[in-house]
Structures are given as C-alpha cells and as structure tokens.
C-alpha cells in the first residue's frame, strides 16, 4: 500500500471509498442495485490510491453560474422535466428549449418559472401537448423552488 505523506494511511481507503461511491451512484442509474454493489466491491478490491490533489480537484465547484444541484436532480429525476425539455434543457419536439433567449409564456424570472411549474401550460403556443402542473409529478413547494432555480440557471444572463 502506498502511503501519502500528507494524508498518511487515509490515502488508500479514501481512494477506495471514492471509487466505490462513484460506482454505486452510477450503478443505480444503469443496471440496478445488485450490479452496482458487485461493481463497488470490485472497485474497492482493485482501487489504486488517489492523491489528495485529485480528490480536491474532483470535488471543486466549477466556475461560472451557480447551479442548484437538487433542482438538477429533480429536473432529471422525479420531475421528469427532461422528457420534454431535453436532458440539457435544449428542448425537444414536445417542449421548448430552456437555454435560448425566448420565453414563450413567462418572463423567465425565478418567480415566473415557479408559477408556471405550479400551474402548467394548458394551451402551449408552439408545442403539440399541454404541460400538466408540475409536469405531472408530485413535487413539494421546496422542490418546485429548487427546480425553478435550476431552470433559471440554464438561462444565465436572462431575467
């Protein structure tokens, strides 16, 4: 086992734990919990030490507009927003882009996004299907606020 002078004996366990956590999270998105567990165990068994600098770089917050990570998780998960607005918010045949300079039904402020998410869009101006309130999901007030901040962050530089 390689021992890092600054981090001592924690270097190898930190690398193994980091690899295991990443594989477990990826596994839940891909092949299910049992496969993720097997991959995590394999990663822990075969993990190579990672330097503290590598860990710090991986955990660094990127420069630029601050994004609401819980809102992003709702957008891509429970809220199923991505199904109509695209994985990156660039729009699909079912829903508009959330990244361009055009807002079809609101002014693009966080408050107007919150209101639109809550009420939905009964009569879309340019798309074939209505957006049900909260996209058809059951979201709490906090989740609506969070996803609205995330959607607003996609349109950085607008209201």
Residue range 96-120, pLDDT digits in tens: 999 987 888 999 999 999 999 999 9
Distance, CA of 156 to CA of 151 (rounded, Å): 9
Residue range 141-153, pLDDT digits in tens: 999 999 999 999 9
Going along the chain from its start, the domains and CATH numbers come out as: 11-59 (no CATH), 69-154 (1.10.760.10)
Task: From 74, 73, 99, select the one nearest 85 (Cα to Cα).
Answer: 99
């Amino acid at each position: 086992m390689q021992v890092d002078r600054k981090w001592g004996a924690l270097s190898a366990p930190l690398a193994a734990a980091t690899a295991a956590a990443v594989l477990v999270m990826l596994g839940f998105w891909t092949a299910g919990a049992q496969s993720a567990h097997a991959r995590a165990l394999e990663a822990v068994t075969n993990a190579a030490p990672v330097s503290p600098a590598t860990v710090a770089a991986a955990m660094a917050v990127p420069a630029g507009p601050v994004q609401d990570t819980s809102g992003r998780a709702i957008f891509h998960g429970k809220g199923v927003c991505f199904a109509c607005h695209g994985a990156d918010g660039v729009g699909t045949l079912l829903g508009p882009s959330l990244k361009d300079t055009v807002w079809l039904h609101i002014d693009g402020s966080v408050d107007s996004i919150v209101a639109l998410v809550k009420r939905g869009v009964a009569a879309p101006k340019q798309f074939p299907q209505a957006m049900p309130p909260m996209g058809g999901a059951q979201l709490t007030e906090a989740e609506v606020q969070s996803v609205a901040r995330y959607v607003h962050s996609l349109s950085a530089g607008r209201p």
